[in-house]
Structure 1
């Protein structure tokens, strides 16, 4: 994930920590260096001291990257991943269902680590997860990292979180498909429509476009109607394929998708 203000950061941290505790997992929290333990606890405990029992029994542990790699003083991907693997095994041996870690990447500057070495770790970490009960969020403060680094890390990770519930993101896939992620609701209708317009303009040379709706949590009638209208008027295209789930397919069908000749709705299963 990336964040540009503290409120977003603490919303995600709090949700991630509480979900892990509710699932019986052990949770490691590595906040940004320089943020006091008192502030961390005040943030995740608001409006009550709900995490106190978890800390007392060792289920929630506040730590740092310096502690994780100890006794080494310099960061290496091998040392870090080895220690996290050990902590995962320890968590299951202690009776927890798994381990999850929230790692604020502010540690990179604090330890004077090489950004290239960090990037290599992020793209070669499969061994931490494959067949193992481990979950991790790496958090990048856009006020600390160059935009190019954040974009590179978003591409390197299997998932990039939306900043807030209710957000909408559009991305171009490797096949030039337009992917929508999040919520296409009334508040985001203008952004949804604009992304469609740009994608249609960009793909007139090939005369075809693929639109993927399967990573949307919500598709409003207004956004669905707008999609059908734009496709109906897309005279520069021979085919617009819309990948959708069963519910989305039913909505498009009831709104008249069958009367749009160049539109082909392809029902697929979600990847999550």
Structure 2
């Protein structure tokens, strides 16, 4: 598996996800890179993603389209019509076309497994002709394991977030936009080693460290102390920006966050 920033122009990649916010992060990174390269960008999505992209600093506007626009006439998914539409859009994009494709349509009863098979097999031929870069997104909650395995096999690239630690209790992964770390679940001092490693990489890579704790269910005093120590070790001109709910904010303040000028706490209600 690769991180989204390693995708190159002309790649056909598969993203499987279970966290919608993580999906939005990766989409923003993928779309933003296309805009930097001067490519035309289209996002075919089953749900509005314009706000999520804009919140991550990526202009969306007319580039976000309902996935139903791909289906062709008839109101049901048609693999041949979808491939024809993508081929036509690519031909209208002299500087290259970058596309995100929400594959949730394939989980609908009216789609039929044969339409997914036909689509992935036929769309692969477009990449041999050049000018197209695509990221197909699959929600793990919507597809069975057999379909997800098939999706991974039919794409030359498979994309995932960089994960520092994941178990039944907590997930610590790289956040792409803004660059930093996202933690979800229950964070306690027993995961301090993984948390330190993740923060150390963010300190090395990012001008300011963004720590997203918005999906934490609980934060104990020991883990909070690790965060405060990491922030206090930053140079004077760099900051750690921590996003969390009111309880997370209280725990960090008890751990000494109020005495660290480099730490900025943004409290957001869920």
* TM-score calculated relative to the size of structure 1: 0.51
Which residue of structure 2 lines up, in the alignment, with residue 11 of structure 1? Answer: 25
Which residue of structure 1 lines up, in the alignment, with residue 102 of structure 2? Answer: 104
Q: Distance in 2 between matches of 1:160 and 1:51?
A: 25
Higher Rg of the two aligned structures: 1
The answer on whether the counterparts of 2:72 and 2:78 sit within 8 Å (CA) in structure 1 is no
The answer on whether the counterparts of 2:67 and 2:102 sit within 8 Å (CA) in structure 1 is no
Distance 1:167 1:23, change over 3 A: farther
- Which gives a bigger RCO, structure 1 or 2 (Cα 8 Å, sep 6+)? 2
The answer on whether the counterparts of 1:87 and 1:99 sit within 8 Å (CA) in structure 2 is yes
Which residue of structure 2 lines up, in the alignment, with residue 114 of structure 1? Answer: 112
Which residue of structure 2 lines up, in the alignment, with residue 137 of structure 1? Answer: 135
Length, aligned pairs only: 155
Structure 1 residue 156 displacement after superposition:
1.5
Q: Distance in 1 between matches of 2:72 and 2:92?
A: 17
Structure 1 residue 70 displacement after superposition:
3.1
Residue segments in structure 2 that go unaligned for 5+ positions in a row: 1-14, 166-192, 195-270
Q: Which structure features the higher share of strand residues?
A: 2
Q: Distance in 2 between matches of 1:76 and 1:120?
A: 9
State the SS of the aligned residue for 2:31: helix
Structure 1 residue 167 displacement after superposition:
5.8
Structure 1 residue 84 displacement after superposition:
0.5
The answer on whether the counterparts of 1:100 and 1:134 sit within 8 Å (CA) in structure 2 is yes
Structure 1 residue 73 displacement after superposition:
2.6
1:41 pairs with 2:50: yes
Cα RMSD after superposing both structures: 2.6
Equivalences for residues 50-129 of structure 1 within 5 A:
50-51=58-59, 55=61, 61-92=63-94, 97-110=95-108, 112-129=110-127
* TM-score calculated relative to the size of structure 2: 0.52
Equivalences for residues 19-30 of structure 1 within 5 A:
19-30=33-44
